[in-house]
Structure 1
């Protein structure tokens, strides 16, 4: 994923998973994965707060799906430690600490740096031009103000970037880690977009110049920025007030 906070999160639209115009999830083969992605974003932005119950019937009704994919999604999230099962009471959103956020972005950054350094060893002039084109697509998407387009353009930049590194397993681990970063939160933040485009441009310049130190700096830059933005957002929701 890439060298940014949201870059490996699959861009399923500005509201997370694919939706119809009514706001409900469209029926798809991997529907439980779509439901899990929606709930992850809700939890990571504190739309669902620690201690909240996730009611299967209510969630299914809200998303326009049956209870089965919701149940499967909650089992997945329980395995990830995002929800807990209270016997005879249902699923409860687990605690989300500042350290959790820090660790999440640290892990993403470490993997992304290794991928970026591999890219630095392999990238060609043609591939540099391709990255520049994709960064321009991101710039255009930001100008449109369409969060879905922004998420897609960011994803494509980093997908192309990671293909150059030929690190399939590392890219998969990064994709897995970035499932926990709320793409919509970033894609609808113009200031984040400015940082992303500028960081991409400087990363490309570093590849062109063979400046490995700058490759590392620009790769880490977006993760540091992403962690700070998510931490500020969560602090603003008050979920950590009683622990301050």
Structure 2
């Protein structure tokens, strides 16, 4: 289908695919900045990044413009995209926002999750703790995601969960396994959340989840 021709669904599949690729590149660069692989005041060279990722320069430029609008990089005419500094306060602010939203979702889930689902989460948690003991970071990450996703969805607050998803874009999820203490935090800090959910105590669920998220931010 030629570029510009709209499919029966009303969407140009070529443009849609390119948009998805740009978002993936933007996520890659965000993570590289967050973990220090790209540092201020270095430049991100479009051609170099495109060659590294094995793609054309167009989605890379689009990704860098996304990051420019977010304040992660700055476009400088005739020079390119310069990485802007990220501070400990920036990271703390990011996780404070996540902690607030995730805490509120947990509070709402406290009145929605039934005993059978909480028991299932406990079983997932047991597998997570086993994976942490075996230092299987990929498995810990997958099981941790399942727990948080279940709680968030159970809140019945899809709009708020979507807002949480927007903040998670800035978090280097693929690198958490390499952060000292992260697997242990995921393995041990969920207990208070589960206790609050089982007791149907929204305030305790909010506090436990928010505390957990803030701790993860401090580790990062």
TM-score scaled by structure 2? 0.85
Match of 1:214?
204
The 5-angstrom pairing of residues 132-171 of structure 1 reads 132-171=122-161
User: How big is each residue's C-alpha offset from its partner over 1:38-70, in whole Å with a ceiling of 9 and x where there is no partner?
Assistant: 100001111101111000111111112221221
- Mapped partners of 1:29, 1:131: distance in 2: 35
Match of residue 30, structure 1, among 9, 20, 25 = 20
Could you list the runs of 5+ residues in structure 2 that have no partner in the other structure?
1-16
What is the deviation of 1:190?
A: 5.5
Rg (Cα) greater in structure = 2
Deviation (angstroms), 1:28:
8.8
1:43 aligns with 2:38: no
Higher RCO (C-alpha 8 Å, min separation 6): 1
Taking only aligned residues, the RMSD between alpha carbons, in angstroms, comes to 2.0
Residue 107 of structure 1 corresponds to which residue in structure 2? 97
| 2:50 paired with 1:64 | no
Structure 2 CA distance for partners of 1:144 and 1:28, relative to 1, 3 Å:
farther
Asked whether the equivalents of residues 107 and 203 of structure 2 are also in contact (C-alpha less than 8 Å), the reply is no
1:197-236 equivalent positions in 2, closer than 5 A: 197-230=187-220
Report the counterpart of residue 120 of structure 1 in structure 2: 110
The one of 82, 90, 104 aligned to 1:92: 82
Segment of structure 1 superposing worse, 136-145 or 97-106: 136-145
Aligned match of 2:45: 55
Q: Structure 1: 5+ residue runs without aligned partners? A: 1-26, 231-244
Question: C-alpha distance in 1, partners of 2:19/2:120?
Answer: 32
TM-score, with structure 1 as normaliser: 0.77
Alpha carbons 1:142, 1:190 under 8 Å: kept:
no
Distance 1:163 1:137 in 2: 21
